[in-house]
Amino acid sequence: MSRGGGSGASIPDPIKLTLSYNLGLFLRFTNESVKSEKMQADVVHVQRTFDEVERTLPGFTWNFLRGFMERFGIRDSVDIEEMCLRLSALYNEIPMYSSIVPHSHDLEKHAAELKLVLSRTPSEITGRSEFIELIKQIAGSIKNLLDCIHSILNALQHGVIRQDLDGHMVNFVDYSKRFSSALKGFFRDHKTNELYASANMLVQQTNLILLFIRNTR
């Protein structure tokens, strides 16, 4: 379960940590070697399954964790928007695959960079100078991703793929503007709820673009 590089605190992998913790507890209280080996194999299988699904459905783990927290009422004890934003770069691996879409690897790279800088928002929002610098990085990452999408659109022939990608770009631009408005609201009232929610929606739009690109073969 690899994550993208960059500055900022490392992002904990809750699935891996949870599996490892519970496996550790199990191994402490059992002397059955066969059962222990099977349990370890099952844990590895679950981790690999999440990895495989995430490669095909980018954002799956993020949505799974969000749904899990909402389903079991964790929203009453934690800020789900903040938690989800911190986890948005959890699976930031750039997969290698063949695609009929030009510049797909560049798009993967720019998308990973954007999700990574967005995920740092809760950690750096309290320091004004650090947060201002982060905002500049987010703006640059958004521009890089949009420039890459424009390059792809220019390289594609007119057709369904080009039309669908253009639709994704329009939505991405819309949510980028909403994020910009949420930033202005934060500097006005210093409330983070709308900002985190807006950043999460931008992550979601980024994942939808990746989903489209990875499944257009």
Q: Are residues 151 and 126 in the same domain?
A: yes
Confirm whether 25 is domain-assigned. Answer: no
Whether 28 shows a pLDDT value over 60: the answer reads no
CB atoms within 10 A of CB 89: 23
Domain count, the chain: 2
Judgement on whether residues 149 and 71 belong to the same structural domain of the protein: no
Same domain, 159 and 202: yes
Let me know if residue 152 belongs to a domain: yes
Is the torsion defined by CA of 49, 53, 56, 58 positive or negative? negative
Structural domain that includes position 140: 80-215
User: Do residue 127 and residue 204 come from a single domain?
Assistant: yes
Dig out the tokens for 167 from the structure. Answer: 């639709």
Going by C-alpha positions, the residue among 216, 188, 214, 215 that lies closest to residue 93 is 214
Cα–Cα distance, 205 to 168 (Å, whole number)? 8
- Given 78, 109, 138, the domain boundary residue is 78
**Residue 10 pLDDT grade (very low, low, confident, very high; cuts 50, 70, 90):** very low
Q: Whose structure tokens read 């950043």? A: 199
Distance CA 89, CA 39 (A): 28
Residues 61 and 111 in one domain: no
Residues 73 and 163 reside in one and the same domain: no
Contact at 8 Å (CB) between 16 and 2? Answer: no
Q: Tell me, what's the pLDDT at 49?
A: 78
Same domain, 105 and 171: yes
124 confidence band (pLDDT: 50, 70, 90): very high
Residue 7's pLDDT band (cuts 50, 70, 90): very low
152 and 185 in a single domain? The answer is yes
pLDDT digits (tens, 9 = 90+) for 147-201: 999 999 999 999 999 999 999 999 999 999 999 999 999 999 999 999 999 999 9
The answer to whether residues 121 and 110 touch, using CB atoms and an 8 Å cutoff, is no
- How far apart CA 88 and CA 203 sit, in angstroms, is 7
Does residue 45 sit in the same domain as residue 121?
no
Q: Last residue of some domain: 47, 78, 109? A: 78
- Rounded alpha-carbon distances, angstroms, from residue 180 to 134, 140, 173, 187: 13, 13, 11, 11
Q: Are the beta carbons of 119 and 152 closer than 8 angstroms?
A: no
